Structure 1
Amino acid sequence: MLPDSHPTPKVYSIPSGAPFVDMLAAGIMERVGGDPMALAGVTVLLPTRRACRSLTHAFLKRSGGQPTLLPRMAPLGELDAGDLSLTEEELPDLPLDLPEAISPLSRQMTLARLVLASTLSATTAQAVRLGADLGRLIDAVWTERVGFERLHTLVPDDYAEHWKKTLEFLNIVTEVWPAILESSGETDPARRRNLTLETQAALWQAAPPPGMVIAAGSTGSIVAASDLLSVIARLPQGAVVLPGLDQGADDTIWQAIEQDESHPQHGLSQLIRHLGVEREEVRAWTDVAEPRGARARLIAEAMRPAATTEGWRELSGMDASALTGLTRIDAATSEEEAQVIALLMRHALETPTRTAALITPDRNLGRRVAMALARWGILVNDSSGQPLAHTAVGTYLRLTAELAASRVHPLALLALAKHPMAAGGRDSADFRAAVRALERVVLRGPRPAEGFDGVLGALEQADRFDHEDQQGFLREWLIDIGRRAAPFLEALNGETPLADLLRAHVAFCEALAADHEQEGKDRLWRQDDGEEAARFLADLLKAAEGFPAIPAKDYPALLDALMSARAVRPRYGLHPRLSILGPMEARLQHLDLTILGGLNEGTWPPAASADPWMSRPMRRDFGLPSPERLVGMSAHDFAHACGAPEVVLTRAARVEGTPTVPSRWLLRLETVLKALGMDGVVEERGACWLGWARGLDEPDRVQPVGAPEPRPPLSARPRKLSVTEIETWMRDPYAIYARHALRLRALDPIAADPGASDRGQIIHDTLDAFVREHPGQLPHDALDRLIAMGRDRFGPLLRSHPDVWAFWWPRFERVAAWFVDLERERRPRLRPLATEVPGRLELSGPGGPFILTAKADRIDRGPDGLVVIDYKTGTPPGTREIELGFAPQLPLEAAIAAAGRFSGIDAAPVAELTFWRLSGGDPAGEEKPVKGDPAVLAEEAKAGLEALIARFDDPDTPYRSRPRPAMAPRYTDYAHLARVQEWSSGGGEGEG
């Protein structure tokens, strides 16, 4: 809608670098003759609500803080029916009863339901995300006023078949969606905004308002807003004030700007063309500022259109004053960049009334800076807020959903039960103590069966209770939690409509959040995040009416996808002089220190996201904006912010470990400064800030850390060890100290999947049972019987773990075949005596008797004496390790056997020591006899052990960690306790 012929449009500009809202307020005061009462008749339209607040502060600053009347202010792109300025005349042909806009969440859920009903195969969460994408497409079409009817003209023969199918899918928004809106009487938010802007333009065009109307700071990116600006510019008391129009560029550059969509001035060039004015006709809003300062000229030169960059060869007329107040900092990582920015902002607070802000499109960087400032107790206003899903209440909602969807998986149960909101009607400290006890007693180790009944069953079988009453207490605790969760678990397990499922979810959340003093609803919804979560759930309940039942596994992902679009913005306790702003929120703001962060290609300007619906040529033919236009809008934000008095440009060389490329604008600025002979100046100013930021967390001097050398008293030193622990004692004495002196044990993993040790234990148990059942001649079906025994012992794992069936079981079958063949060969000359047989041997030491224990996998009797066998599903030790005494297991077992100290086996000479390697690979099994005379090896091992006992019976002997690195164990549970990585990297290895 364009205005009729009127007097010449009144268009003004405030230059970049000038305090926009301050100059805007000054110009308004000049035009009302300095009469504060006249301000009430002025209407000002600004780009954002933040800009409206800034203009309010500008007027208050001019009044010295005294009460004053203010103009009527409203955001241009967010005009509502209540903001329409009506006239005193009757306008019967102009409809003012505009349809209500459908809520974004209701539209998203309705479109998601249409996606699920289409031929597209998608999960519920994917459908919800596609619904959001379709909503953005609908809004973009209304914003650009292109009309969906043009979609059917976009499938000529040169487009791929994929795009034809995509356009068929888009029938959802071309045919089905308009019918839904017509039946509901609602409309899309972007169309509602267009109708509001068009109605306001028609009202003012038909009957101009009596007061002054000023539209300031807009770049005309919304077509309907541009039409309204055109009307305002022609009103008798109307004016349009542009932000930083470059009136110093020559005609050649300006013509190139009009063709270059990625240039920061391109949007303004199109706007003034739409307004019907030439650039020379745009006047200065006030006469107090230079049209274009030195910094503005430098930035304009750096942003010169690509077609005119040959002008960089002849740069002149620019001096070092353009760099006054300009600093560049290239940090090594995004964490260091955040630390530097936080330090800059903290330093700004040292000057009273000084303001500072980080402007960045990188929300991760903004969150890092907010966290870095928190070390000084500074809470900063981040305009993007915090995602609801990342807040305490949002996390609680996700964890409750995951608990039910996972059928009470131990990890989900622990994550939820340890959340601060979970109390289960008890004192929070008692509730958390119960959780920790349940973790130790039940949830560490193999995963229980599904549901609370499965956890209760595992509790009944547990035997690691701290006291007698603990089992009963935990049983009562689990039953109570299960009772609170039962309706939600039942709803999620059946065909429950989404709205009913949400109600059950909320009921469980409130029931679990109750403590011994407050009801759950009073604890859950009281803070900022709780209030936002309550609003979100209320909106979702309304939008979910009619949504079908969803699979249980989809519910947590659905909730997460929906919460990702909601942000929580704290209302109180934020710092008044520091801010973290996005480029859009930063428009028209004037700050003493402006930090432009995240200046990497792909972040600022942002990388062009792939359109899920149309290819680039299709978007062009359809009339949607190109990626270059979005780059140009981002470039305008950057260039305008660079005009501030003090600007710091920051970037990180690596983000999340990935190398980055400096923003194209930084590279252009580098090129211009190099051509001017001023390269390196702005970088040098930032070096000190990098040094200070690094010094915050780096000690002045690093003290080398030595290996630990604990020397417990003799009374605390172990007097009983197994043969396997003797090997640990040789290789890593500190592990023996930690296990026996400190009595520390490694915790089992939570809901542990079976590992190599489980496989070895199952194979050991199966072979043990087979040999016990068949000690003499083997039956003809021995292999079948062994396989049956293995299937019985593998049984639960074969059913619940596909990887065990796919990998472990075939290996066991090969081991079984090899084992039976070997047994048939051995049985005529060797007779099994015992399997899994315990033994012990008492040795003497300076500190008193020392007990050596063992459990031999198998002992056979042959014609020459005993044969001691050790089953190994891993790699057996080498001959050299055995000779040096670092693998003494079999030699020590031989010493016990020779002394007749194995249960039920008389003393006899040992004829052979051998490892049976049971890998199940190729070969499936292998006999690996220990080289050397078993009697000699046994005597040497016994003598070595006695020497070791004598050495450690000396209270001055330390239990060092890894005294011989070459012989250190491949894995130990106590490496982190011994801080091995800290002292071993500095050459602090212990000595032998």
Structure 2
Amino acid sequence: MRKFPADTVSALNLVRIAARDIVALEQEQLPRLTGLVILLPNFHAVDLMGEALCESAGASSLLLPRMITLTEWAEGAVLGREILPDSCRAALLYQALRERKWFADADLWHVSRELLSLFDDMARQGTGLPASYPEFVALLEQAYRTRAGEPLQFEARLVHELWYAMNLSGDGRVDSVTAYHLRLAGLADNASSPLYAVGLSGLTPMEQDFFRRYGERQRVHLYGCGGEDPADDLSQLVQAALAPMEVLNKSNAPSPAREEGANAKGACYDLRERATEFRQRCPASPLSGRLELLEAHSLEQEAQAVDSQIREWLLAGKSAIAVIAQDRLVARRARALLERGQILVADETGWTLSTVAASAVVMRWLDAMASRFHHLDLLDLLKSPLIFADWEGGARKHAVYGLEQLVRRHSVISGLHHYRGLAQREGAEDVLTLLARLDQAQARFGARKRGLAAWLASLLESLEVLGLRQGLAQDLAGEQLLRLLERLQKELGQDQGLFTLSEWRRWLDSQLEAATFRDTGITSPVVFTHLGAARLRRFDGVIVAGGDAAHFPGRGKESAFFNQSVRAQLGLPTFEQDLRQMEQDFTSLLADCGTLLITWQGRKNAEPNLASPWVDRLEVFHQLAYGEDLPRRAAEILGEAADILPPLPATARPTLPPELVPVALSASGYNSLMACPYQFYARHALHLNELDEVQQALEKKDYGEHVHAILHHFHQHYPAISGCDRAEMELALRDISREEFRQALESDYLARAWALRWDMRIPAYLEWQAGREQEGWRWHDGELWRTRELELEGGRSLTLKGRIDRVDTRTDDGEAAYAVLDYKTQSRPGLQKKLETPGEDVQLPVYALLLEESVVEAAFVPVDDEGVKTVEQEDIYALSKATGQRLSELFNALYQGASLPAQGSEQACAYCEMSGLCRKDYHDGQ
């Protein structure tokens, strides 16, 4: 086996060197190189390697060798052993942990995954555990540098016992890592052609052993596969800047600074010494024109910077642009900005499968069943476009809308049988069909324990019943999800373990968290990728998004078992090794790309956010060596663009086209117009009123509706109580009240408090009613629905409508006089304040106008006060006529294009659901 150090880490130079050697060594085979195998770190490097081979051979085309990754090459080798899938291994570990009852409340699936990761690391490194448990404890004591206490002994027992339980199962099957090593061994034993490897990194001991064994039979040539020291100036600069302080040079020669002690001053001198030595070897900065920095003020600004730079490069003709997505939040926002501008992105980093809409709708289905079809879970599920994909056109939307209206109108919280009862009463056939399919799909599940594969079969069958399988199959992410579920079902078919529904559900969650969705259907000059995947690739420009200390290089993932020093003692990979590999990849990336821009946010959550230590070290080193700071982009990247944007209006002031002016209006709509014209515009012209909420507990407004209904039923039976026994009237009113609150009490125990509250008000109300009858008033009608046509200009009209709570009558001078009353459960002082300014609150004047009779009195009746006393509107007759005239004038103005400004008072804005549209509070604060 021959190992060739690369004279540079540049991808282009490394590939060219390898290509020249391959052509020289295989000269007799030209132009047919099909018998060779070239191992590359990824398939993106194939084109680059092919071009280099043709260039070195001086030919326009060649019959190229097989170019493949080591993993893919091994995958095609014959194994002759059955593989135990990782899903089965996790299930076996889970069952072992469950039987031993070592973790009372822990997530055993998480513990199983951590153990599998640990066991796989041990297998990759070719390490094992001592056969004796006491020997293993002694090894851990030495690694931890402490005596074996209870926590250490528990960790040792857990790992040692389960390691041997998994590796001595004796069923003949092997895990995926062992299968990989066996396949590599088979390839080495059957070596039949020379082998070339270019740019492979992070080779495990077992992979290194494969190359050694292969080299015993055939020629093996390795190029840049061992992390050799770079020779080009740029790479040496990066290495010198990022190397640990105690590493002074290749020879590690001592210096006065080191002899004096490794303190902060010595460390600074160490870096200064390196910088001075490097300047002497390389007078001109290799970073000049290659590296720029940008410190943004916010996530949005960082994403906009990425978006702007990519657009600039595309306009300049760059055809290979990469974004190293260290901060996924910034990358997602930048991708959204690019796609909004019709720039598609090839995202190689992918998305966790649990975050895509296809997985979300499956989990909503399981959530809906778990919550007994709670209305929020159910409606959330049914509004997905993936469900009932076998229905035509808008059939699903129509059925779901009908169900939602039923649920909200009747405040039904949960239960398919409750929804079905409502649909049957109202004859909603499409809703009944929808509910029947949900019931059929739910029947595929049961409460008894079963295997993971059986639970998956139930899930897939239920998706078929719901038309979800068809919808998922038409979606790219959904198709990948179905393939995952089907593969897991097949893999787990022989597993004998039994699991509850909740255990299976947690397992499924973990599988979706571990799986990745990648959209492979997009080809674009803009690629979102990660640092390791950029090796041996050529880019015109690269952006590292998220170049802060938290993301670049990051802190690594801590294992649940063994800290980093113990892992090093046991021969397991550590974050320090990962960090060295990331440094090599970063150095290679900087050498390969035309220009590198590193962005980060200077502050997060109002706190300083430090830049990456690599960025700091490069800046300090460059300043010490060349007396110049690295170039920084201005943070205010949108300053020029912001100047051409139109200024925001001080307040929203829309106007209505004639076709949107309402032709009918209620008293509450009139009040809305008076309180805030913009509120009226949004509620009654655009019909953006919020949907009715499903009440899970009785609220104050529901209490008021119950009281209204009670009093209406009572006076229908007893229009007058004068001359009746007061105790008998009180008993009758209590009986009606009890029946009215009965249904509310069945669904909400706390409704009892509201019922008792009203029960305490009954004597006061009857006292007020008796006094009113002594004044000559008699109950005439209630819940009276009236309309009235108001003539407008241009032959138009407006229909005024409303429901009057109560109308009383009496005889004045031989003529009938009327009073309109409105029951209120508000306090009397608050009602008095409403009527302080005549005409400001229009409810009573509108009711008087609607009655079209001789109304001499209009009043609010605060029935919830301890003592009932009316709050009268003065001069109601004249006020009602003026209110009608003003309404006509307002609507004439609307038809003529009058604006509807957001000018509500603080009280009107306090509970207005349209504040997010008008943003009056935002503009007032400017």
TM-score, length basis structure 1: 0.73
State whether residues 359 and 582 of structure 1, in contact with CA within 8 Å, keep that contact through their aligned partners in structure 2: yes
- The match for 2:292 is 327
In structure 2, the residue matched to 1:187 is 174
Residue 434 of structure 1 corresponds to 398
Residues 894 and 634 of structure 1: is their aligned pair in 2 closer, same or farther, counting only changes over 3 Å? same
| 1:960 partnered with 2:886 | no
Q: Distance in 2 between matches of 1:825 and 1:381?
A: 78
Cross-structure match for 1:675: 624
Residue of structure 2 equivalent to 1:87:
none
Aligned partners of 1:743, 1:219: CA distance in 2, in Å? Answer: 62
Aligned equivalents of 2:387 and 2:830: distance in 1? 50
Aligned counterpart for 1:141 among listed residues 98, 122, 126: 122
Report whether the alignment pairs 1:613 with 2:561.
yes
Deviation at 1:489, TM superposition (A): 0.8
Q: Deviations over 1:835-868 (max 9, x none)?
A: 965487989988799968563479899xxx9996
Q: In the superposition, relative to structure 1, how do residues 606 and 104 fare at CA in structure 2: closer, same or farther (>3 Å)?
A: farther
- Cα distance change on mapping 1:237 and 1:541 into 2, 3 Å: closer
The separation in 1 between residues aligned to 2:195 and 2:783, in whole angstroms, is: 98
Structure-2 residue corresponding to 1:593:
541
Q: How do 1:817-828 and structure 2 match up within 5 A?
A: 818-819=760-761, 822=764
Cα distance, 1:578 vs. partner?
3.9
Q: Percent identity?
A: 17
Label 1:737 to 1:81 Cα distance change in 2 as closer, same or farther (>3 A). closer
Query: What is the distance in 1 between the residues matched to 2:340 and 2:788?
Result: 59
Query: Aligned to 1:980, which of 903, 914, 918?
Result: 918
Cα deviation per residue 1:421-451 (whole Å; 9 max; x = unaligned)?
4445442x24345346425643444554755
- Deviation per CA, 1:490-546: give whole Å up to 9, x if none: 1224426343343343234345449xxxxx76x754675455334312221123434
Candidates 513, 516, 521, aligned match of 1:567: 516
- When residues 243 and 713 of structure 1 are mapped into structure 2, their CA distance, relative to the original with a 3 A threshold, is closer
Asked if 1:75 corresponds to 2:69, the answer is yes
Alpha-carbon distance between aligned partners in 2 of 1:159 and 1:877, rounded to the nearest angstrom: 73
Match of 2:418 in 1: 454
Secondary structure, in 3 states, of the residue corresponding to 1:595?
Answer: strand
SS in 2 for 1:459: helix
What is the Cα deviation at residue 663 of structure 1? 1.6
Q: What's the counterpart of residue 883 of structure 2? A: 945
Residues 211-226 of structure 1: matches in 2 within 5 Å?
Answer: 212-226=194-208
The DSSP-based 3-state class of the residue aligned with 1:322 is: coil
CA separation of 1:841 and 1:191: change in aligned 2, threshold 3 A:
closer
Name the residue aligned to 1:108.
90
1:591 positional shift: 2.3
Q: Deviations over 1:568-601 (max 9, x none)?
A: 44454523x4432222222222323233222122
Deviation at 1:731, TM superposition (A): 1.1
| Letter in structure 2 aligned against 1:636 | Q
Is the 8 Å Cα contact of residues 861 and 870 (structure 2) preserved in structure 1?
Answer: yes
Residue 396 to residue 448, structure 1, CA distance change in 2 (3 Å):
same
Aligned equivalent of 1:313, options 231, 252, 272: 272
- Tell me the amino acid that sits aligned with residue 17 of structure 1: S
AA of the residue aligned to 1:24: A
Give the root-mean-square deviation of aligned CA atoms.
Answer: 5.0
Offset, 1:565: 2.7
Aligned position for 1:506: 460
State the match for 2:243 in structure 1: 304
Deviation (angstroms), 1:668: 1.8
Distance 1:614 1:792 in 2: 67
Map of 1:356 onto structure 2: 321
Q: Secondary structure at the match of 2:294?
A: strand
Separation in structure 2 between the aligned mates of residue 79 and residue 605 of structure 1, nearest angstrom: 31
Match 1:491 to one of 440, 444, 461: 444
Q: How far, CA to CA, are the matches of 2:769 and 2:888 in structure 1?
A: 43
Residue of structure 2 in register with 1:883 after alignment: 836
Distance 1:613 1:837, change over 3 A: same
Query: Alpha-carbon deviation of 1:139?
Result: 0.8
1:112-143, Cα deviation, whole Å (9 max, x unpaired): 4444555267899x544443333212212222
Distance of 2:129 and 2:196 partners within structure 1: 34
Give the match for residue 586 of structure 2.
638
Residue 728 in structure 1 maps to residue 672 in structure 2: yes
| Secondary structure at the counterpart of residue 93 of structure 2 | helix
Could you tell me whether the CA contact under 8 Å between 2:765 and 2:868 is conserved in 1? Answer: no
Shift of 1:666: 1.4
Which ranges in structure 2 are unaligned for 5 or more consecutive residues?
247-266, 811-817
Paired residue for 1:173?
162
Secondary structure of residue in 2 paired with 1:561: helix
1:357–1:952: structure 2 CA closer, same or farther, 3 Å change rule? closer
Partners of 1:948 and 1:99 lie apart in 2 by: 90
CA distance in 1, matches of 2:906, 2:913: 18
Q: CA deviation at 1:603?
A: 1.8
- Give the secondary-structure state (helix, strand or coil) at the position aligned to 2:87: helix
What is the DSSP-based 3-state SS (H/G/I as helix, E as strand, rest coil) of the residue aligned with 2:49?
helix
- Gap change, CA 1:579 and 1:816, over 3 Å in 2: same
Tell me: CA distance 1:121–1:895, structure 2 relative to 1, closer, same or farther (3 Å). Answer: farther
Tell me, in whole angstroms, the C-alpha distance in 2 between the residues paired with 1:531 and 1:867.
64
| Contact 1:16–1:243 (8 Å) recurs in 2 | no
Task: State the aligned residue count.
Answer: 867
- Pair 369,812 (structure 1): closer, same or farther in 2 beyond 3 Å: same
Which residue pairs with 1:292 in the alignment? 232
Deviations 1:850-894 (A, max 9, x none): 968563479899xxx999674336896375553124763686499
Cα offsets for 1:321-350 (capped at 9, x unmatched)? 422222223334445444443454455455
Q: Select 1:12's aligned residue among 2, 5, 8.
A: 5
1:393: how far off? 4.7
1:820/1:619 CA distance change after superposition, 3 Å: farther
Q: CA deviation at 1:560?
A: 4.0
Query: Among 653, 656, 669, which residue is 1:708 paired with?
Result: 653
In the other structure, the counterpart of 1:748 is 691
Would the alpha carbon gap of residues 927 and 437 (structure 1) be closer, same or farther in structure 2, given more than 3 Å must change? same
1:664 aligns with 2:613: yes
How far apart are residue 303 of structure 1 and its match? 0.6
1:29 is matched with 23
> Is residue 762–residue 794 contact of structure 1 (8 Å, CA) maintained in 2?
no
Retained in 1: the 8 A contact 2:839–2:879?
no
Task: Tell me, yes or no, if the aligned pair for 2:291 and 2:595 is still in contact at 8 Å.
Answer: yes
Is the contact between residue 329 and residue 687 of structure 1 (CA under 8 Å) also seen in structure 2? yes
> Within 5 Å, which residues of 2 pair with 1:239-250?
239-242=221-224, 245=227, 247=229
Shift in Å, 1:352:
6.4
1:271-420 residue pairs with structure 2 within 5 A?
291-293=231-233, 295-307=234-246, 308-314=267-273, 315-316=275-276, 317=279, 318-349=283-314, 354-375=319-340, 377-390=342-355, 393-420=358-385
Mapped to 1, the partners of 2:854 and 2:602 lie a distance apart of 64
- CA contact 2:679–2:914 (8 Å) conserved in 1: yes
Letter in 1 for 2:804: K
Compared with structure 1, are the counterparts of its residues 553 and 726 closer, same or farther at alpha carbon in structure 2 (3 Å cutoff)? Answer: farther
- The 2-side partners of 1:71 and 1:240 are apart by 16
* CA distances 1:355-397 after superposition (whole Å, capped 9, x unpaired): 2222334455555454444345554432233444455654554
- Runs (5+) with no aligned partner, structure 1: 1-6, 85-96, 249-290, 463-470, 515-519, 919-924
Q: 1:839 touches 1:855 (CA, 8 Å); kept in 2?
A: yes
Quickly say closer, same or farther: Cα 1:755–1:985, change in 2 above 3 A.
farther
> Are residues 1:815 and 2:757 paired?
yes
Equivalent in 768, 780, 792 of residue 711 of structure 2: 768
CA distance in 2, matches of 1:120, 1:448: 44
Task: With the length of structure 2 as denominator, give the TM-score of the two structures.
Answer: 0.78
- Give per-residue Cα distances to partners, 1:655-706, cap 9 Å, x unaligned: 996864322211222322343465554213x669x449x94x9953336376
CA contact (8 A) 2:195 2:221 kept: yes
